[in-house]
Structure 1
Amino acid sequence: MSVLEENPDSPLKKRPPRWSDIWLKKTKPLKHVVFAMQLQSLASKDPKSQTLIPHFANIDRTLLLSDELLLKILSKLPLSQRNPNSLVCKRWLNLQGRLVRSLKILDWNFLVSGRLITRFPNLAHVDLLNGCLFSPRNSGILLTQRMVSMQMRYGNCSNWELLEENLLPVEVVDGGLQALANGCPNLRRLVVINASELGLLTLAEECLTLQELELHKCNDNVLRGIAACENLQILKLVGNVDGLYCSLVSDVGLTILAQGCKRLVKLELSGCEGSFDGIKAIGQCCLMLEELTICDHRMEDGWLAALSYCENLKTLRLLSCKRIDLDPGPDEYLGFCASLERLYLQKCQLRSKKSLRALFRVCEAVREVVVLDCWGLDNDMFTSASVCRRVKFLSLEGCSLLTTEGLEATVLSWLDLETLVVVSCKNIKESDISPALATLFCNLKELRWRPDAKSLLSSSLMGTGMGKKGGKFFKRT
């Protein structure tokens, strides 16, 4: 027997305490932690058991709510809280992704890798325009056009060369469209550039609910794929853009489009070529067409007469057109749009009185006329609008060549005129207002008069009763 065993009280028997001894002696805090972990584990298996959890246990109370109920709650919150809410936990991040319906893609790899569909499974509106361009992110040079914004490495080449250099190949864009179509069968709106017929055919087969499409750098061959989208209602085609890219849309493509997309309600043709035959085909086949927008067209002379085939057309917009129709043909062949209600002209060059007269002749049933920043509209040309006898609303802005005399000669012939807006027309002078024109002002329901910065008509006529007909008062601008 050793000495230590014989003398248990010996000082050699004592040794310094171990960490394990201290840990086992002070187990009260540990027991609380283990107990809380057990409660959380039970709550995850049985949500009803959370009612027994004590207040000191940090448990996510939203676990009691189903995904459907929590989605309804999150959808009621303002959009400004969407990003902060997604940082709460992974569950909230996934739920917020399910609430996103519209998205603009900037990184193409995010689409083709499948992360887009996983993160946002319920997308309905997707914009791929900027995602189809790859450009250096650290460049200090930014090219901005009204439709495209991109960074560039250097500035010693044309915009057209720059876009072609940084635009994704057609087969890459088609692959992205296929991935998008497979993951988003409920897609309703799409914006894309440089796609082919094959990519759009895949989209048409998988996304049967596609209703709105905006296609840039479009040509006749691509329109074969668009024609397969039978439920398409809103379509914007961008063919040729000066200084950026050149693509041809002719009567062939417009005819293919008309025969395939017969449910179109709104159509915009930007930088497209064509003639009487293409517009006629659209009018004869697209019987539901209500709004037609033509921007910077390259159409052949005589196309205006084809508008009469659009029997249900209600709105006609001409934007940034360098010309309208230099040779519209005889009046007996022009016809007119019986259902047309609104005519909108913006930033157009009105060089020919003959073409403007033909336009008003086709639109003689119109009730609203808006002319905004159009060059060349003088007194002689504006008198051709007298043929439109049913006008109730007239808005003139930025028509610097028009005078008070020219305005009076036309508006006095419109017996149904109710609203008149004159803004930034510097040659229309208040000193030239005749008694007949002043009487017309008194009978209007609404008058917005600011032809120049020195106009005092709005302040001098207060209290005279002008503009009170119909219960609507004079609006001071």
Structure 2
Amino acid sequence: MRGFDRINAVLPDELILEIFRHIESKPSRDACSLVCKRWLSLERLSRETIRVGASASPASPDSLVQQLGRRFPNIRYVFIDERLSVSLPVQYNRKRRRGFPLRSRSRYGFEPSVFGDDVMGTSYLSDFGLAAVGDSFVKLEKLSLIWCSSVTDVGLRFFAEKCKSLKCLDLQGCYIADEGLSAVGECCNLLEDLNLRFCEGLTDTGLVRLALGCGRTLKSLGVAACAKITDVSLEAVGSHCRSLESLSLDSEIIHNKGLLATVKGCSQLKILKLQCLNITDEALQAVGMFCLSLELLALYSFQKFTDRSLYAIGKGCKKLKTLTLNDCYFLSNKGLESLAVGCPELMHIEVNGCHNVGTDGLKSIGKFCVRLSELALLYCQRIESDGLSEIGKGCKFLQALHLVDCSGIGDDSICSIAKGCKNLRKLHIRRCYEVGNKGIIAVGQNCKFLKDLSLRFCDRIGDEALISIGQGCSLHHLNVSGCQQIGDAGIIAIARGCPQLTFLDVSVLQNLGDNAMMELGEGCPLLKDIVISHCRQITDAGLRYLVSKCTLLESCHMVYCPDITEAGVATMVTTCTRIKKVLVEKWKVSDRTKRRAGSIISYLSVDL
């Protein structure tokens, strides 16, 4: 019956709240809140996470925090990023922006003027706003302050005193000094996760005090670009943070002494990410001896350790599942073989810029790492044409393969992968100039589960390869940017064979024209993102047909397409109701188009 409420009269509040908690999409939650006043109130009660911008707004994020605190009382995670602009949930009343009521000014025991002039007129989060976060969100467990440069120790202390149940704190880019971090250590005794990336004001004093206060509960610690944090801090972490499971360290002044103390004291470490120029074999060998529960190891830009470290890690870290070796110059095939033999549970391996690692090291991975599901080889010039043969034979569960600038890898390697790894779902190849049609045809014939294919700047790949892919795979994501031999025939095959396609990059394809655009419009109705820049044969007609059919389109990059004119741009922004970004030359945007869709248009060049 029209006008009869079939839901609110039957469902209790608890059940509607539980339904809201299972809706992950913010737009969907927002839509639900508009149904009626009851749903609006219940949706506000169910919301646990908010993201707040802190820049480029006529309103102060300090006042926005207070508004959000009144509307969403059960928030547990607050994310404040000064790189993002403020987006007000309701129309903002400018008359109330001039100042807080007197009772609000004195709530925290200080006047806003303590933290600087004109707090409400600023477009960034101040100490007063941070104190308001602590007062407004009494159930807060996680706080992220990203590049909030105006927050100081005073505000952090007031916040810490209010939020004693805090478990996660991210202070990336905040100029917090020792007093603020010490306050967190004193008050937030349940803290489990701490990120101190680019906190340049910190010294050992603050981190040592935090370790003393939160050492029993701290499980994750990240320190990067903190020039005053030395081995003293890591010694305190090793002594007091016995439950630490994750350590991320990026430092030019940390030496063996600090890392040794940490790995000896924190035997439960599962995740270790290091970018430390002064660490040598001595410390990394200790990782293999003491970190027996290690599951993820990432080593970046190491120049002072050798295969001896990997031998020790392979001997001791039997639970290792993820390995990243980035610009480790003195590692060789022997070190990689030691890890492959000793760590049979390895599932994710990335080797990037390790110039002494070659074919033999890769073959050892294929022989011993039978559970491997993802492999990334970047700038590995010593891997020869048959380097992936053992991977194809031994790694039957491989689902993702990334190859970048591996000049020795050719069609034979890709054929081996295609025939042996039939569960492959993602294949990314960039600037591997020996890979041609033969290898990709084999992928189309054998890898029926492939969803994501990227073949950027592979000059030998042409239409034959994409015809095979279109006949054998149902892609969701395709990038063939810079593959000059691909034309209409290849893209038409994709359009006819991949109806689930949502992303397509065909930039710099000089032989691609309107026929391909029309076929894409007919065959790929789910397309959301397309890049057609530098495609000189695509015209307004092809673009018009594409956008008339692909009604879900959200972004389009089309710079340096000489036959796409002002009219084509206007057609796109008027036809695509969901469009969020259009990248085009400025001179192709008319005044009328600017008025209609100026917020979604980006310009590569101001004048051409």
Please state which band the TM-score falls in when normalised by the shorter chain: 0.5 to 0.7
Q: CA deviation at 1:353?
A: 3.6
Q: Which moved more, 1:325-334 or 1:99-108?
A: 325-334
Task: Indicate conservation of the 8 Å contact 1:379/1:405, yes or no.
Answer: no
- 1:10 alignment counterpart: none
Structure 1 CA distance for aligned equivalents of residues 156 and 191 of structure 2: 12
Q: Deviations over 1:187-213 (max 9, x none)?
A: 111012343444333333332321111
8 Å contact 1:423–1:450 — kept in the other structure?
yes
Corresponding residue for residue 114 of structure 1 = 66
Which among 264, 267, 271 is matched to residue 311 of structure 1?
267
1:71 correspondence with 2:29: no
Q: In the TM superposition, what is the alpha-carbon distance from 1:231 to its structure 2 partner?
A: 0.5
Give CA deviations for 1:404-441 in whole Å, capped at 9, x if unaligned. Answer: 355169759x96765383534542444465xxx96787
Q: 1:101 offset after TM fit, Å?
A: 1.2
User: Judging changes above 3 Å, is the alpha-carbon distance between structure 1 residues 357 and 403 closer, same or farther for their aligned structure 2 residues?
Assistant: closer
Aligned to 2:230: 275
What TM-score results when the alignment is normalised by the length of structure 2? 0.51
The letter for the 2-side match of 1:115 is: Q
Match of 1:101 in 2: 48
Q: By how many angstroms is 1:461 displaced? A: 6.6
My pick for the range that moved more, 112-121 or 324-333, is 324-333
Distance, in Å, in 2 between the alignment partners of 1:440 and 1:463 is 11
Q: CA contact under 8 A between 1:276 and 1:303: conserved in structure 2?
A: yes
Distance in structure 1 (CA, Å) of the matches to 2:154 and 2:411: 59
Q: Give the Cα–Cα distance (whole angstroms) in 2 for the partners of residues 335 and 78 of structure 1.
A: 40
Give the partner amino acid of 1:250: T
- 8 Å contact kept, 2:230–2:254: yes
Number of matched residues?
371
Any residues of structure 2 matched to 1:12-411 within 5 Å, and which?
64=9, 67-75=13-21, 79=25, 80-106=27-53, 108-109=60-61, 111=63, 114-130=66-82, 173-192=126-145, 193-194=148-149, 195-216=151-172, 217=174, 218-227=176-185, 228-240=187-199, 247-261=200-214, 262-272=216-226, 273-295=228-250, 298-300=253-255, 302-306=257-261, 307-318=263-274, 321=275, 323-326=276-279, 336-345=289-298, 348-353=300-305, 357=308, 361=312, 365-366=316-317, 367-371=320-324, 374-377=326-329, 380=332, 383-384=334-335, 388=339, 390-392=342-344, 393=346, 395-399=349-353, 401-405=355-359, 407=361
Q: Cα offset for 1:399? A: 3.2
* Deviation of the 1:119 alpha carbon: 1.4
Residue identity opposite 2:230 in structure 1: S
Distance in 2, matches of 1:270 and 1:234, equals 15
Is the Cα–Cα contact under 8 Å of residues 249 and 273 in structure 2 kept in the other structure? yes
- CA contact under 8 A between 2:50 and 2:77: conserved in structure 1? yes
1:457 maps to 2:418: no
Unmatched 5+ residue regions in structure 1?
1-54, 135-164, 241-246, 468-472
Identity of aligned residues (%): 21
Deviation at 1:264, TM superposition (A): 1.0
Runs of 5+ in structure 2 lacking a partner? 54-58, 87-116, 424-445, 454-608
Equivalent-residue separation in structure 2 for 1:167 and 1:362 (angstroms): 53
Q: Structure 2: how far apart are the matches of 1:351 and 1:89?
A: 62
Q: How far apart in 2 are the matches of 1:231 and 1:370? A: 31
> CA offset at residue 310 of structure 1?
1.4
Report the alpha carbon displacement of residue 103 of structure 1 after superposing the two structures with TM.
0.8
For the pair shown, which has the larger CA radius of gyration, 1 or 2?
1
CA contact (8 A) 2:178 2:203 kept: yes
Q: Contact (CA 8 Å) 2:152, 2:177: kept in 1 or not? A: no
Please say if residues 60 and 125 of structure 2, whose CA atoms lie closer than 8 Å, have aligned partners that are also in contact. no
Residue of structure 2 equivalent to 1:423:
377
**1:370 is paired with a residue of what secondary structure?**
strand
* SS at structure 1 position matched to 2:160: helix
Q: 2: distance between equivalents of 1:397 and 1:461? A: 18
Residue 444 to residue 327, structure 1, CA distance change in 2 (3 Å): closer
> For 1:204, what is the secondary structure of its paired residue?
helix
Instruction: Please say if residues 369 and 391 of structure 1, whose CA atoms lie closer than 8 Å, have aligned partners that are also in contact.
Output: no
Offset of residue 344 of structure 1: 3.1
* Aligned partner letter, 1:71: L
Cα gap change, 1:89 to 1:300, in 2 (>3 Å): same
For the residue of structure 1 that corresponds to 2:223, the secondary structure is strand
Q: Secondary structure at the match of 2:218?
A: coil
Aligned-residue offset at 1:340: 3.7
Aligned partner letter, 2:48: R
Cα distance in structure 2, aligned partners of 1:383 and 1:166: 63
Write the distance in 2 (CA, Å) between the matches of 1:465 and 1:214: 40
User: 1:334 offset after TM fit, Å?
Assistant: 8.1
Q: 1: CA distance between counterparts of 2:337 and 2:179?
A: 43
SS for the counterpart of 1:130 is strand
Partner of 1:185: helix, strand, or coil? coil
